[in-house]
Structure formats: structure tokens, C-alpha cells
Amino acid sequence: MIVDITELDREQTIRSISALESELFGRGAWSESAVRQELDAPARTYVVDMDDHAGIRGYAGFWYDGDDAELMTIGVGKAYQRQGIAAALLKRLIQEADTQGAARMLLEVRVDNMPALALYQRFGFQRLGLRKRYYQPEGIDAYVMALDLEPRIVGFNGNGGVGCWIPVREHRTERRRRAMSEPVVLGIESTCDETAAALVRGRTLLSNVVASSMQEHARYGGVIPEIASRAHAEAFVPCVSKALADANMTLRDVDAIAVSAGPGLAGCLAVGVSGAKALAWASGKPLYGINHVIGHIAVTQLQFGPVHENTMALIVSGGHTPPLHVTDIARTIDVVGTTLDDAAGECFDKVARLLGFPYPGGPHIDRHAQHGNPQAIKVPQGLTQGQAGAKHPYDFSFSGVKTAVARWVEGQQALGREIPTDDVCASLADSVATVLAKKTMRGCRQYDSDTLIVGGGFSANSQLRAKLLEYGRSNGVDVRIPEIRLCTDNGAMVAVLGASLVEAGVAPSDPDFSIDSAMPLTTISL
């Protein structure tokens, strides 16, 4: 007979459970004190199997946090095992969790506990991931498993030949639908020099917090990985806390967590991923390790709506300039072209140093270019002419562009002439923007795509934005470039991609996933 412990003598129940703990779990067993503390803890529900002669033969309980019911323990005395007691206890707990409104039941189980695994699988629990060395002192791994407490179809009514399925537990239906169609996702970003956290509900931005260590790198003329990693460690908790506070939420309100797992600087990625894993483990939320670059595509959904199939994308940043073809933002992305040497952002940074601009140089070139003549200097457009252009129709090379500008400047200096900084910047910006626009539009024609998404930090450049919009209008292509604050690295892009994955039913990442500093662009999530 299954009985709620509140109906029994408390101290006798504690002694009985403690005795069973010692019998079943040895050195890892709960003491009487530990059992008492567990039963006194808030939001606990415990039941026991009672026999008139044998007393308490088994026990089980869960913790309900307002969203999920976490199975804390289940045990049956050795003399009474294989009699259906564990199944009866588990069935009762599932019913209790359902009555209290839990969305799902979570548990951990030893990977070598075959009877328990069979029991949980029989009740419909599914594996979510693996926790290494979870059970101590033995150091045994644990599977994380979950049972979704969805409304069940329990009957069929016929009326004049018209059938009507009748679901029960309507009180949770809307909540579960919202969790899949408009999931609340916490996004965490730490690939380079920005520590960022944001929350979205579907495609609605709730908060967006960014802490940059850029000024700490300025004196070195570029990002120093060790300094960036330390800055991430210092800013992680404040950023996440503020993002939650700005959204007026706690982790309980979050449906999933997403974190940039690559590409990026390894030390920086490690800080963000470690922190995200800790949050996911503590809260029992699913975790998605996502591709940072693909996040730059996904973030446009905040302004322009869903990313449709057969969409072209151009990512322009300090280290990447790839044109991509998007079939499914959550599942399928193909690389159309690549950067053979310097990316557009790298080219700008190197020319900026040549002109004496402080780091980061890109914004300085942008401002000066707005006052210069883009036709003043003949700047080459790499991989656009002859055999090279034919062989690399969608690839980019900006190393020669940088070199050509450097030689021109050096030549003027050798002649004792003043360098027309505005004209140099305008000519460089126009050349880079033109080749990016031309090749990307060629890709749109090749794939018969009428939509182009542009993302990455370099997409904040005003000359590039204007050129792409101009070429888009003349080619009948809808060019979608996000507002400036969403171009640079941020948590919103991570959160939106995470929401897209949840909506598409993509499985969360394995809890033990590793960072990938060179993550291929065809990998959307780990």
C-alpha cells in the first residue's frame, strides 16, 4: 500500500528510511540526520510502501521547483525487490507531480543500474545527457533522464460519425505549447572580448546585456586571449544576473539555455560554456551549445521575422567572411564560399594601424570614409577578374587589397606628400563593399534566393550597408541587416538561435559537450 509520509509517525518513518538507505547504498547512504533534513526541505513530496507486518518496504520522493519535479530518491528493501513496489512508488510520484502542475519529471540514475534504467524507460523516461562521476565516492557516471508530463488523450467520443479526441489536464496545455512555440531562452556569449547575456521569448527580445573588455586590449592593438578570458570570468555572473533582472525573470522562468560553443578563442569559450553548464545543471534546464557565427544569422529574426528556407546569408566579421545558403536555420546550412586569406574585418584593422588609428580601427575607417572620395584611389577587388574570378566565384581575398593600399601610402610618404586619410578610407571601404555585394548577389542568383541576411561585426560598416541595400534593390533581393547593436557580438543572437532549435524540436547538447574553437559553419549546434 502506497502512503504519503505525512500520514505516518515522523520519527519512526525517518528511522525506517535511514535503515533502508544503509542497506541499499552503503557508504553513499543518507544518515538519519540527512533523511530528516531532506523531508524538512521545502516543496518535497515523499511516499512509502507499507505492509502491515513488514512495515516500510520502500520509499520515494521528489522536489517540485514550480516547473519540474526532480526525483530525489527511490529505494526498495532487498527482500522486497522485483515485486512491483518500485513501479508502484514511481507511478504514485508521477501522479502527484502531475497534480501539482509539473511540466516534467527529471532524475539521475547510475549508468550501471540496469533494473532502474529498465523501470524508467518502461514509464517513458528519455535520456537527456550524461553527468560524469556523479555518484560518489565510487565516481560512477549518471544518465540524466526526463519524462514529459504532457496532456494525454484518454477517450474518443463519436457523434453522428464525427470523432472528437478529448484531452485531459487542459490546465497545462497552453503552457507547454508556449514552451515549444515561444520558448524563453537565456543566451550566453563569450567568444572574444564581449561577455554577453540576453533573454528572448521566441522572437521577442526581453533583455540584452553586454560587457566589453575592448578598452583593455586597445593598448596592445588587438585582443589578448588571457586578458579576455579573465574579463569573461569577472563579468559572467553580473551579466547573467542583470539579464534576468532586466527581463524580470529567474532561471525558473527559462525554458532552455544556449551558449556559444565555437568558433572563437578557446579560453574565452571555456569561461562561457563552463558557466552555462553550471547554470543548466543547477536549474535542470536543457542546454544548447551553438555556433556563434550562425547566431549572427538567427538574430535578424528579432527585426525581420523567421528565416525562410532558401535564404542567402553573408557573415562579415574580423575573422570570417563566408557566404552561406540557409535551408533550415535549425538544421541545414551550406557553405557557399570562404575567405582564402584576410577577412574583411582583418583588412580594415591592418589598414587602420597603417594610418595610425587606435584599436579597433574599423569604426575610424568608417567615419573618415564618409568624408572622402571613394574613387580617389584605385583599390583592387580580389578574386573578381580572369581565371581567379572564375575559379573562386564566391570566395574572398582581402590580403592583396591591404597590400595595395599599404604600397600606395608608402609611395606617397616617400614622395613627401600628405596622406589624404579620408580618401584612402573611402576608396578602401568602397572596394571591399563592392566585391562583397557583387559576389553575394551572384550567390542569390545561383540559388534563386530573393532574401539576403547580413550579420557580423563588420556589417555595422555604413559603406557596406549602403552598398548591399543598393545592390539588393537593383537585383530584387530583400536585404536584411540588423540594427547596429545586434551586429556586434551579443547574447541576443545566441538566445534567438537557441529558441529556433527548441521550436524545431532539436535535441539539447550532451551535457559533456566540448568547446570547438574552429567549429565548422555547417555545424549549427553540438
Among 182, 167, 245, which residue's Cα sits nearest to residue 209? 245
β-pair type (55-64, 184-189):
unpaired
pLDDT score of 153: 35
pLDDT score of 139: 82
User: What length is written for the chain?
Assistant: 526
pLDDT score of 152: 39
Residue linked to cell 533522464: 145
CA triplet 440, 446, 451: central angle to 5 degrees?
55
One-letter amino acid identity for 494? V
Kind and range of the H or E run holding 235: helix 225-246
Residue 282's contacts (CB-CB under 8 Å, 6 or more residues apart) are 251
Distance of CA 322 to the CA centre of its chain: 21
Please answer whether residues 142 and 134 qualify as being in contact, where contact means their C-beta atoms are separated by less than 8 angstroms. yes
Instruction: Quote the DSSP letter at residue 339.
Output: B
How far is the C-alpha of 479 from the C-alpha of 230, rounded, in Å?
38
pLDDT score of 490: 94
pLDDT score of 222: 66
Please answer whether residues 512 and 273 qualify as being in contact, where contact means their C-beta atoms are separated by less than 8 angstroms. no
pLDDT score of 425: 92
State the number of CA atoms in the 13 A half-sphere of 410 facing the CB. 8
Q: Residue 4: beta bridge partners?
A: 47
pLDDT score of 43: 87
Instruction: Map out the domains of the chain with their CATH numbers.
Output: 2-148 (3.40.630.30), 151-181 (no CATH), 183-299+490-503 (3.30.420.40), 315-486 (3.30.420.40)
Distance of CA 199 to the CA centre of its chain: 11
Name the stretches of the chain with pLDDT < 70. Answer: 150-181, 214-215, 217-222, 318, 383
Q: Give the torsion sign (CA, 12, 17, 18, 22).
A: positive
